[in-house]
Structure 1
Amino acid sequence: MHDFIVYEPKDINIVRLRHLQKRMQNRKASICSQRAVLYTASFKQSEGEPYILRKAKAFAYTLRNMDIYIEPDSLIFGNQASRNFAAPIFPEYSIDWVINELDEFEKREGDVFSIDEKTKRELRLIAPYWHGHTHEDDVNRHMIDNVLLAEKQGVIHRGGISMSGDGHIVPDYPTLLKKGFRQIINEAREKMKDGSLSKEQEYFYKSVIISLEGVLDFFKRYSKLADEEAKKCNDLIRKKELLEIADMASDMMEQGARNFYEAVEVSYMVHMLQMIESNGHSFCYGRFDQYMYPYYKKDLKDGKITKDQALEIITHMFIMNSSCNKVRPYGHTKFSQGYPLYSNLVVGGLKPNGEDGTNDLSYLCIEAMNLTALAEPNFSARIHAKTPRKFIEACAKLIRTGCGMPSMFNDEVASKGLEDLGISHEDALDYCPIGCVETGVPGKYGHRATGMTYVNWGKVLEILLHNGYDPNTKIRLLKVSDSESMHSNFKNYNELWQTWENFLKYYSDLSVECDKICDTYLAKYDASPFASCLIQNSMKLGKTLKEGGCKYDVISQSNIGPSVVGNSLMSIKKMVFDENKITFDELLDAMDDNWTSKKSQYIRKLCMKTPKFGNDNDEVDNIVKDIFNSYLKLLPSYKTLRTGKGPEVSCYTMSTSNITSYVPNGFVVGATPDGRMAGSPLNEGCSPTQGTDKNGPTAVINSVSKLPNEKVAAGQLLNMRFLPDSLEGEEQLNKFIDFLIVSQKKGVYHNQFNVISTEVLLDAKKNPEKYTDLIVRVAGYCAQFVSLMPQAQDAIIARTQNEI
C-alpha cells in the first residue's frame, strides 16, 4: 500500500484494489469490431431516414446487443468494448485508414494494438458499406486546395476533427443525477407535442428518446448479468456486492441517483456511454467533488456509508477509467501518444458564489489517486488566493509521489479569461478543465474547447525566413518580396515582425477555413443526441451541440511553438540587427546546413548564447508575449458556425494545449535561429524549449507570468520536471508548497509536474518490462512511459531537471 496522503483508510480491501490496479497496468490494447458490426447492421435497416435518427437507433441497437461483463472484484460496472482496454471502431467517421492499417496495428513503435484474424475479417466485410460515406470522405471532398498545400508544407494538421468525433464534453452532472433519464425522456415527449417544431427539432427529440431508452435497457442488462453471477458466486461478500449491483442497475436512472454509490456509478456510465456513441475524446467529469458532495454528505449522515466505503468506491471508479480506449490512425497517434483519453476530473476551487469549495471529497479524491496511480482519470486541482494550505499540501504530496498528478489550475486567471469572453461571473467561477488543460463551463459548453486545426508556428517561421518557400516541399503560398536575399528584405527588426504578423494571419485564416469545413460535416456525423441532451440549452432549443444546442460555444485551435519562435526572433534581433555579428543570409546558410560546418557551428554558438524564454529575461520574454498577442488580436474576426444560432456566447479563443504534437511538428521544421537542430521537438505549450531554462523554477514562472495568461481562455499549459530528492522531507515540501502559492499569485494559469530523475527514465526506456507502473506527465495528460514512442520519451528526458 502507498503511504497515505491525507487520509489513512482502515477498512478497504487493499488486496483486490491491487489486483484491479495490476490488471490495468498489465492490460494489452486490442481492436474490437463489435460496435462497427452492430452499427453497420442498424444503418442497413434505417436507409433513407434522417441521419440523427440512424445514429440514435444504431447507438440503442448496440447497447442492446453488445457483449457486457463485470470486471472481477470491481464495485463499478460498465464496459466500452468486448474486452478490457479494447478500442472500438467507428466506421461512420472513417474506415479507409482502418483497413489500410489492419496489418500494422501490432507493428507500431508506440500505442500498439493487437488484432486477431476474425476481427480483421469482420472489419473488411463491413468496409465497402461505409466507403465514400464517412465524415472523413465528406471533409476530403470539400477541403480547399490551399489548406491541402499548407498540410503538405507541414504548417496545418487536421488530426481528429476530419475523421473522428469531437468529444471535449462535460455533461451537466448535477442535473442529470437529480432528474434521471426517464424525466429527460418525458421532457422530450412533451416537446414533441409542440406543433410549431421544425422537422429537425422533431428528429432531435425523437433521437433523444431512442438513445435514452437504449441506455436504460443497457443498465437493466447489467442487472440481469449481476444477478446471474451472484447465483454462481461462492464468496459471500462478493455475492452481496453483485446483488447490490443487480438491484441498483434494475431501475438505475429511471429516477435520480438515490445514493452516493449510485451517483458515482452513473457518472462513470455516462462517461463511458459517450465513448460508445462517439469516438471523440476528452469526455470529462468536471467538478466531481462538488456535485457528488451532497450525496456523500447525506449518506454519511444517514449512516448508509462510511468514509472508507466512499473512498473505495471512488478508487474503483478511477481504476475503471483505464479499461476504456481509443485507436487513432498511426499518423495522428504521433500527435497524441500513450493511449490518452484526457478524461479530466478536477477537485477544489471556488464555488459560483465565490466561496471556497474544498470539501471532504476533494481530499478523498486525492487519496484515491494516490492509491490507484494510473493515467486515467486525468486528475486536476483548482487553487486560488484563499485555498486552504492543507489542500495545497495534499496536492503537493501527491505530486511528490511522481504520478504526474494533479495538474494545478489558477482560479483567478482561468475565470477571468472566461468572463472576458462574455461568460457570466458565476459560470466562469464554476469552470473546469476539459481534456488536457483546456477550460470551460461544465454542463454548458458545446464540443471542442480546444484542438481544432493544429498550426505549426515553427514551420510558419521557417517558411517566412525562406521567402515563403517550404524548404522540404518547395511549396510557396505567399512571399515576403521578389528579392531572394532575406538580408535585403528586412532592414530592421520591425520589418521582420510585421512580416511575421502577415504570415501568421495568412495561415491562421486558412486554419479557420479548415475548421469550418470539418465542423460542417461534424454537424451531421457527430450529431450525438445522447451527449447533447446532457448539456444545458440543447433540450430547450431542440438542437445538437454541433447545431448550437449549448449555452456557450467557445472553441480554439492548437498552436505549436511560441517559445521557439520567440527565442528565434530574439536571436535574429540581437545577432543580425542590434549587434551586426552576422548577416541574415549567413544565418540562413548555417540553418540550412543544420549547423554542420565550422562556420555554422560558430554561428550556432552565438545563437545559443542569446537570451531564451524561461530565464526571467524581459527582452526575450516580451518577444514571446508579442508572439501570443499577434495571434490573440486575430481572434475577434473569427466566427464559429454556430454564431447567432443559439449559444449566448460563440467565439474563438486561444489555447496552448498541444498534447505530444510538439514532437512530430518538430520533425518537419529545419534548424531554427534559436540554435535548435533540424527535426528536434518544438516547445510544449507555453513551456520553455527543452533544456533552455537555466535559472531555476522561479525564473520559469517569472517568465510565464509575463504572458497574457488571462487571455488564453481555453487553457495555458506549463510543464516542469523536478528531481525527487528536491521534494523529500518536510522542509523541501514546504518550499514546493510555497512555490505553488507564488505561482498562483503571479498569475501562472496552470502548472504540472514530473517528479522523476533522468536516470530512471533512461533505464525505463532501456528496460520497459520493469517499468509498466511508471506513469509520466506527457503533456496535458499522463501515460505509461513505456507506451510512448522513443521520440516522445526523449522529449520528456530532455526537460530540465529542477530543484527547489
Structure 2
Amino acid sequence: MNNLSRGFGEPTQRVQALREQILNASPRIETDRARILTESYKETESLPMVLRRAKALEKILAELPVIIRSGELIVGSLTVEPHSAQVFPEFSNQWLLNEFDRLNQRTGDRFTISEEAKRELAAIFPYWQGKTTSELATSYMMQDTLASIEENVFTVGNYYFNGVGHIAVDYAKVLHKGFKGIMQDVLAAMDAADKRSPDYLKQEAFFKAVLISCNAAINFAHRYARKAREMADDVSPQRRSELMEIARICETVPENGASSFYEACQSFWLTHAIIQIESNGHSISPARFDQYMYPFLAQDHSITPEMAQELLDCLWIKFNDINKVRDEDSTKGFGGYPMFQNLIVGGQTRGGLDATNPLSYMAMTATAHVSLHEPSFSVRIWAKSPDDFLLKACEVSRLGMGIPAYYNDEVIIPALINRGLSLEDARDYGIIGCVEPQSPGKTEGWHDAAFFNMSKVLEIALNNGRSGTRQLGPKTGEIADFHCFDDVLEAYRKQMAWFVHHLTAADNSVDLAHAERAPLPFLSCMVDDCISRGKTVQEGGAHYNFTGPQGVGVANVGDSLMAIKRLVFEEGRVSLAHLKEALDSNFGLSAETPSVPAKAEEGEVTYDMVLGALKKILGENSGIDLSALAKPAEPVAQGSLEALRQMLINGVPKFGNDIDEVDMMARAAAEIYCREVEKYRNPRSGVFQAGLYPVSANVAMGTAVGATADGRLAGEPLPDGVSPSRGMDCSGPTAAANSVAKLDHALASNGTLFNQKFHPAALKGEDGLHHLAALLRGFFDQKGMHVQFNVVDRSILLAAQKEPEKYRDLVVRVAGYSAQFVSLDKSVQDDIIMRTEHSF
C-alpha cells in the first residue's frame, strides 16, 4: 500500500483485509441475473413493458445469491465472487457470444468465464434475438448515421449496448422515509391522478411497477438479515455480534428511514446496489455524499469517530466490488474496469453558504485508507472553500492515485443556470461519471451519450467530405478550392453541422429504444418528478432532461488549424495541396508516399524568378521591403517530409503555452462543436448540451484519424479532454492551465476534462502542497471548470509495464476516472506515460 501522507492515519486490519480481497480478485462472468431475467420475461410476455421490468427485478432480487463476505460490515453484492460481473442480455448480447474465447486474452479488462457459463448463456441468448434495445436503436437509425458510426466519426456505444446510467438519485429520500414511505407517495399519486385521462392507463402501470420494485428492495434487505442470522451460529463472539447487528439493520432499512449513521450507510449501499442490478448502466453516482449523510452522523451520539471511519472505509471497499463486462472495443474507451461512481464533497449549500463539514474530511481519509480506484472521488471548490479543505484535498492528490478531481463552482453553477436549472438546484450540483455536472435526484442527463471525433471531422473537411474513398459528408470543396483560411474553417463548420445532426439522430434512436424496451421503475421512484408525472425517467419523467455527447480532440484541431493558417495562408511556407499530400502519406511513412519534385521543372515560374523581376522593375534602392511578400510554397520533396513535420511541430505555436492566438483557435474549434450540439432536442423534451472529455477514447479514436497538420502521425492518440497535446505544453503547468482556462467551459456544460501530470518531487513538503493549491486557485479564478493530477514517477509506470504483478495496487488517473494501471490496455498505459510531466 502507498505510504500515507500525514494526517490520514492507518486503516484498520479489517479494511486492509477487505482491500486485499479486491486486489486478489480475478473478475469472472456470472450468469444468475441473465438466467433469472430471461425466466421472468418468458412468464410476463402479455404485460406492459414497465411491469415486465418490475416483475423481472422482483424475481432477480428474490433469487440472486445472497453473499456476506468475510469481515464485511456493509453488505449487499451483485455477484458471488468479488469484483465480478453479471450479464444483461436485454441490452445487447451477440458481442459477448462472439468474444467468449477472448475474454481472458484481452490486453486490458480481462474476465474469466467457465465452460458451464458459456453453455448457459449460449442457451439464453437466442430468446433475446430481435428483442434488445441495441437492435431497436439500430432500426431507428438512418443509413448516413450508421455510415458515420462505421467510419468512427462518432460512437454511441455507451448506451447503445448497455443500460442507461450516469445519474444520481435522491438518496436522501430513501434515508429519511425508506421505501415504505416512497410507496405511500406512490399511492397518494395514484389517488390524485386524473382517472379520466387516457394517460392514466400508462401511469397506473408505472405506479404498480414502482410498488413492486420497492417491495422487492425491502425483501432483498430481509434476505440479507436472514443470511446474517444464519451465519451467526458458528463464528467468534465478536463476529456473531457484528452479524446480529447487520441482521437488525437489514430488517429495518431501507424499508424504513435510518436512525443512525450505520443504518444510513447500509441503506445507502443497498439502494445503490439495486440500481446497478436493475440496469448495468455505469456512472451511478453518489454525488453529494457528505451533504445527505452528515446529518445522520451528527445526530448519532452512540458511534465513536473510529467506528464511523471504519464504516466509511468499508463502504469505499464495496464501491470496488461492483464491475461490468464491456465489449472489447469499448474497453479501449473505458479501460481499467471503471464504474465511474462519482462521489463529491465540499462546495456550497442550496442557500449559497460553504457546505464543508466533518464528513467531507472523513471521505478524504477513506479515500487514502482504501487507495483503490472507486469511488471516483471529487471535491467542489469555490471562493469560500476553507484553505484547510483545499490543502487536505491536495494531500490526497500527493498520494498518487489521480484522486481527487477538482471542480469549480464559479463556472459550473452559472453554466447550469444557463441550461435552465434554478439557482438552488444549480448550487446543489453533483458530478456524474467522469466530469458531468447535474442536479442530483432531479435529472436524467444522458451524459456520456457519445464520443464525437472532432479531429476526424477536420480530416473529412480537408477531403471534400470523404473518409478515405467513401463520400461520407457533404461536398464542401477540394483543396484547390480553398483560397483563404476562412474557406477551410467554413468547410469544417459545414462538416460539423452534418455529423452533429447524425450524432443527435443516433443518440435519439438509442433514447427511444430504452424508453420502449428498458424502462427503469425502481430508479425512477427516486428521481423527481417521475412519481408526480407517472412516468419513468426514460419517458421524460425527470424534472431536468438533457443529452450530453462529448467532443474529443480539441487541442489537435486547434493546433492543426493554427498550422494551416500560419504556414499556408500567412507565411506561404507550404501549399495546402502539398500539406495534404504529406498528411495522406503519413509524412512519408506509408507505402503511398507521393514522389514530388524538389526543384522547379523546366518552364516553371519560381519565387526567386518573380522576386528578381520585381527588383529590376522597382530598382534596388526603391525603399520597398520585398521580404514582406508571402513566399509561395515550395514543392514538398520526399526527403523533406520529416522536415515538414518538424516545421509543423516546432514552427507554429501550440495550445498549452499561454499564447493567445493558438488558444483562441482551440476555443473556436471547440465552440463550433458545442454551438452545433445545443441546437438539438431529445425525445424526453430536453436539450442537448456538449461536453469536452474523452474517458480513454482519445486513444482508440486516434487510430481512426490519419496524420494531422499539427505534426501528429496517423493512428496516434488524440489529446485527452481539453488538455494540450502530449509534450506540446512545454512552458510549465501555469501556462498550460492558462491556455485551458481560455476555452469557454460554461458553453461545454456537460463537462470539460483537464489532466495534468507532476513528478512527486514537485509536490514535496509544505511548499509543494501550497504550490499545488495556488495553481488550483489561479486556474479556477480564470474560470477553468475542472482539473485533476497524476502524481507519479514515469520510471514507476515503466516498471509496472514490465513487472505488473509487483504493482497491482498502482492507481493512476486515466481521464475522468482512475484505474489500476496494470489493468489497462498497453496503448492507454503508453498514453499516460507520454503525457507532459510538470514541475514548479
TM-score, scaled to structure 2: 0.92
- Given that 2:678 and 2:690 are in contact with CA atoms closer than 8 Å, whether structure 1 keeps it comes out as no
Match of 2:700 among 650, 664, 667: 664
Q: Which residue in 1 is equivalent to 2:493?
A: 501
Query: In 2, Cα distance between the equivalents of 1:548 and 1:8?
Result: 44
Q: Is residue 458 of structure 1 aligned with residue 452 of structure 2?
A: no
Look up the SS of the partner of 2:333 in the other structure. Answer: coil
Q: Is residue 510 of structure 1 aligned with residue 502 of structure 2?
A: yes
- What residue identity is the alignment partner of 2:457? V
1:179-578 maps to which residues of 2 (within 5 A)?
179-193=177-191, 194=193, 195-196=195-196, 198-233=200-235, 235-299=236-300, 302=301, 304-448=302-446, 450-471=447-468, 474-481=470-477, 484=478, 486=479, 488-578=480-570
Identity %: 37
Partner deviation per Cα, 1:27-48 (whole Å, 9 max, x = no partner): 1111011100000111111111
- What residue identity is the alignment partner of 1:602? A
- Given that 2:555 and 2:666 are in contact with CA atoms closer than 8 Å, whether structure 1 keeps it comes out as yes
Aligned-residue offset at 1:141: 2.2
Aligned-residue offset at 1:198: 1.6
Aligned-residue offset at 1:475: 3.9
Query: In 2, Cα distance between the equivalents of 1:765 and 1:8?
Result: 29
Aligned-residue offset at 1:635: 3.6
Match of 1:682 among 718, 737, 761: 718
Query: In 1, Cα distance between the equivalents of 2:548 and 2:254?
Result: 34
Partner deviation per Cα, 1:185-213 (whole Å, 9 max, x = no partner): 12223333442462110110000011111
Query: In 2, Cα distance between the equivalents of 1:75 and 1:798?
Result: 41
Look up the SS of the partner of 1:32 in the other structure. Answer: coil
Aligned-residue offset at 1:434: 0.4
Q: Is residue 766 of structure 1 aligned with residue 829 of structure 2?
A: no
- Given that 2:11 and 2:370 are in contact with CA atoms closer than 8 Å, whether structure 1 keeps it comes out as no
Q: Which residue in 2 is equivalent to 1:607?
A: 648
Aligned-residue offset at 1:474: 3.0
Query: In 1, Cα distance between the equivalents of 2:491 and 2:8?
Result: 60
Query: In 1, Cα distance between the equivalents of 2:804 and 2:4?
Result: 27
- Given that 1:2 and 1:371 are in contact with CA atoms closer than 8 Å, whether structure 2 keeps it comes out as no
Aligned residues: 786
Aligned-residue offset at 1:13: 6.7
Look up the SS of the partner of 1:752 in the other structure. Answer: strand
Look up the SS of the partner of 2:344 in the other structure. Answer: strand
Q: Which residue in 1 is equivalent to 2:594?
A: none
Query: In 2, Cα distance between the equivalents of 1:410 and 1:238?
Result: 44
Decide which moves more: 186-195 or 144-153.
186-195
- Given that 1:147 and 1:156 are in contact with CA atoms closer than 8 Å, whether structure 2 keeps it comes out as no
Partner deviation per Cα, 1:745-765 (whole Å, 9 max, x = no partner): 111100001100111111111
- What residue identity is the alignment partner of 2:215? E
Q: Is residue 798 of structure 1 aligned with residue 834 of structure 2?
A: yes
Unaligned runs of 5+ in 2: 589-637
Look up the SS of the partner of 1:167 in the other structure. Answer: coil
Aligned-residue offset at 1:478: 1.7
Query: In 2, Cα distance between the equivalents of 1:524 and 1:273?
Result: 21
Unaligned runs of 5+ in 1: 644-649
Q: Which residue in 2 is equivalent to 1:641?
A: 683
- What residue identity is the alignment partner of 1:232? D
Partner deviation per Cα, 1:33-82 (whole Å, 9 max, x = no partner): 11000001111111111111111101110100010111111111000123
Q: Is residue 591 of structure 1 aligned with residue 583 of structure 2?
A: yes
Look up the SS of the partner of 2:466 in the other structure. Answer: coil
Look up the SS of the partner of 2:448 in the other structure. Answer: coil
1:54-203 maps to which residues of 2 (within 5 A)?
54-193=52-191, 194=193, 195-196=195-196, 198-203=200-205
- What residue identity is the alignment partner of 1:628? A
Match of 2:739 among 698, 703, 708: 703
Partner deviation per Cα, 1:536-581 (whole Å, 9 max, x = no partner): 1111101000111111112210211111001000000011000000
Partner deviation per Cα, 1:133-163 (whole Å, 9 max, x = no partner): 1111112222210011112222021212222
Decide which moves more: 435-444 or 708-717.
708-717
Aligned-residue offset at 1:598: 2.2
Query: In 2, Cα distance between the equivalents of 1:88 and 1:529?
Result: 20
Aligned-residue offset at 1:8: 5.2
Look up the SS of the partner of 1:710 in the other structure. Answer: coil
Query: In 1, Cα distance between the equivalents of 2:771 and 2:556?
Result: 30
Partner deviation per Cα, 1:444-492 (whole Å, 9 max, x = no partner): 11141x2112211111111111122112x534332223xx4x1x21111
Query: In 2, Cα distance between the equivalents of 1:120 and 1:793?
Result: 31
Query: In 2, Cα distance between the equivalents of 1:24 and 1:327?
Result: 16
- What residue identity is the alignment partner of 2:279? S
Aligned-residue offset at 1:500: 1.0
Q: Which residue in 2 is equivalent to 1:31?
A: 29
Query: In 1, Cα distance between the equivalents of 2:255 and 2:500?
Result: 48
- Given that 2:405 and 2:789 are in contact with CA atoms closer than 8 Å, whether structure 1 keeps it comes out as yes
Look up the SS of the partner of 1:772 in the other structure. Answer: coil
Look up the SS of the partner of 2:705 in the other structure. Answer: coil
Query: In 2, Cα distance between the equivalents of 1:524 and 1:219?
Result: 30
Query: In 2, Cα distance between the equivalents of 1:253 and 1:156?
Result: 41
Query: In 2, Cα distance between the equivalents of 1:628 and 1:352?
Result: 31
Query: In 1, Cα distance between the equivalents of 2:351 and 2:472?
Result: 53
Query: In 1, Cα distance between the equivalents of 2:140 and 2:680?
Result: 20
Decide which moves more: 712-721 or 183-192.
183-192
- Given that 1:384 and 1:411 are in contact with CA atoms closer than 8 Å, whether structure 2 keeps it comes out as yes
CA RMSD of aligned residues (A): 1.4
Partner deviation per Cα, 1:604-641 (whole Å, 9 max, x = no partner): 11100211111101000000111122123224421111
Q: 1:238 to 1:682 in 2, by over 3 A?
A: same
Query: In 2, Cα distance between the equivalents of 1:474 and 1:714?
Result: 32
Aligned-residue offset at 1:281: 0.7
Query: In 2, Cα distance between the equivalents of 1:314 and 1:566?
Result: 44
Query: In 1, Cα distance between the equivalents of 2:291 and 2:188?
Result: 31
Query: In 1, Cα distance between the equivalents of 2:809 and 2:2?
Result: 13
Q: Is residue 782 of structure 1 aligned with residue 818 of structure 2?
A: yes
Q: Could you say which structure has the larger radius of gyration? A: 2
- Given that 2:458 and 2:492 are in contact with CA atoms closer than 8 Å, whether structure 1 keeps it comes out as yes
- Given that 2:460 and 2:473 are in contact with CA atoms closer than 8 Å, whether structure 1 keeps it comes out as no
- Given that 1:6 and 1:363 are in contact with CA atoms closer than 8 Å, whether structure 2 keeps it comes out as no
Query: In 2, Cα distance between the equivalents of 1:357 and 1:238?
Result: 37
Aligned-residue offset at 1:6: 7.1
Q: Which residue in 1 is equivalent to 2:691?
A: 655
Q: Which residue in 2 is equivalent to 1:647?
A: none
Q: Is residue 715 of structure 1 aligned with residue 754 of structure 2?
A: no
- Given that 1:34 and 1:82 are in contact with CA atoms closer than 8 Å, whether structure 2 keeps it comes out as no
Aligned-residue offset at 1:16: 1.8
Q: 1:267 to 1:727 in 2, by over 3 A?
A: same
Query: In 1, Cα distance between the equivalents of 2:816 and 2:451?
Result: 16
Q: 1:8 to 1:144 in 2, by over 3 A?
A: closer
